Amino acid sequence: MKRANEGTLAILGGWRNLLMPGTMAVVFALLTWPIWRWLWGEWMANDYYSHGVLILPVALYLIWRRLYNASSAERELLQGDTRGLLLLGIALGLYLFFYNNKAYYLAAFAMLAMIIGLVWTLNGLWWLRMLSFPIGYLTLMVPLPFVERATLPLALFTGVCSTALVRFFGLELTVIGNAVKLPNADLLIGAQCSGINSMIALIALTALCAYVLEGPWWGRLMLVVLAVPIAMLGNILRVSNLLVVARYWGADAAFRFYHDYSGIVFFAVVLLLLIPLTRILQCRTLRLDVL
């Protein structure tokens, strides 16, 4: 009878331990549901952040693997810390303020701050540090309003570099602003030629690579920093290639067929370039504790 009572008490104790985290998780889900719904709509409609739908499952997987691979000593450090409640309260206030003012992207960042407060409160500061990358990685899923405004300057820069490149190889054309005049076609380099969607996706990918690869801190940092010029270079080569196709096969062939598929091809080429780049930056082996 005594052993049965001890077993019942152990079960009840386990339920009590899960009661607060479970309650906080349910309240968090109910409060933040409108922002998750907004994020989903952005991922489905915003070409620049279509990769955002993958960020959350990747982050959850990294958190699960970090907890799964934790040693017994690390598991003993899973202890609550009431200091996290202060951050949680501030983040909640900011979340409600931004949401009520329809600043949804700021409300999304406040929601991520709430997640930090929850992890700190439930698991402690040590584990918050251990999970800092997966939680921080979630910032890459939030659409930023100024990204769309940056497309035109990037498109103009791409146009200048692409036309200069094809001129260097002997292709005749005239450039007026973002308009390109070929002997057989008149083209316009618009926002869709900025390559910013590839740039954002590549930053997210290189950040993940920097986390899962072993290597010096400077090498992993450079891997992320170089994502921007590499993406820009790949886009310049792509637009240059489009101009060549338009010159010899016509604008319809370049922009109705080749335009859609060339982006995928050049992005794949850029991804292949990351393999020798990681070698150069001394990031060669995978971290087994996060995979």
Half-sphere exposure of 218 (CA within 13 A, CB side): 1
What is the predicted pLDDT for the residue at 32?
A: 96
Percentage of the chain with pLDDT > 70?
92
Q: Is-contact 230 202, C-beta < 8 A?
A: yes
How far apart CA 234 and CA 162 sit, in angstroms, is 11
Average pLDDT over every residue of 272-277: 89
Q: What is the DSSP letter of 70?
A: -
How far apart CA 55 and CA 6 sit, in angstroms, is 44
Q: What is the DSSP letter of 195?
A: -
Pick 178 or 85 by higher pLDDT: 85
Give the 3-state secondary structure percentages of the chain, helix then strand then coil, rounded to 5: 80, 5, 15
Query: What is the pTM for the complete model shown?
Result: 0.86
Looking at the predicted structure, is the pLDDT value of residue 15 above 70? no
Q: Is-contact 78 123, C-beta < 8 A?
A: yes
What is the predicted pLDDT for the residue at 260?
A: 67
Looking at the predicted structure, is the pLDDT value of residue 10 above 70? no
Instruction: Read off the pLDDT band of 6 (50, 70, 90).
Output: very low
Q: Residue 26, Cβ neighbours under 10 Å: how many?
A: 10
Instruction: Read off the pLDDT band of 138 (50, 70, 90).
Output: very high
pLDDT in tens, 199-209: 999 999 999 99
pLDDT in tens, 233-254: 988 988 888 888 888 887 777 7
What is the predicted pLDDT for the residue at 156?
A: 86
Looking at the predicted structure, is the pLDDT value of residue 108 above 70? yes
Pick 169 or 88 by higher pLDDT: 88
Q: Give residues with Cβ within 8 angstroms of 127, minimum separation 6.
A: 77, 78, 119
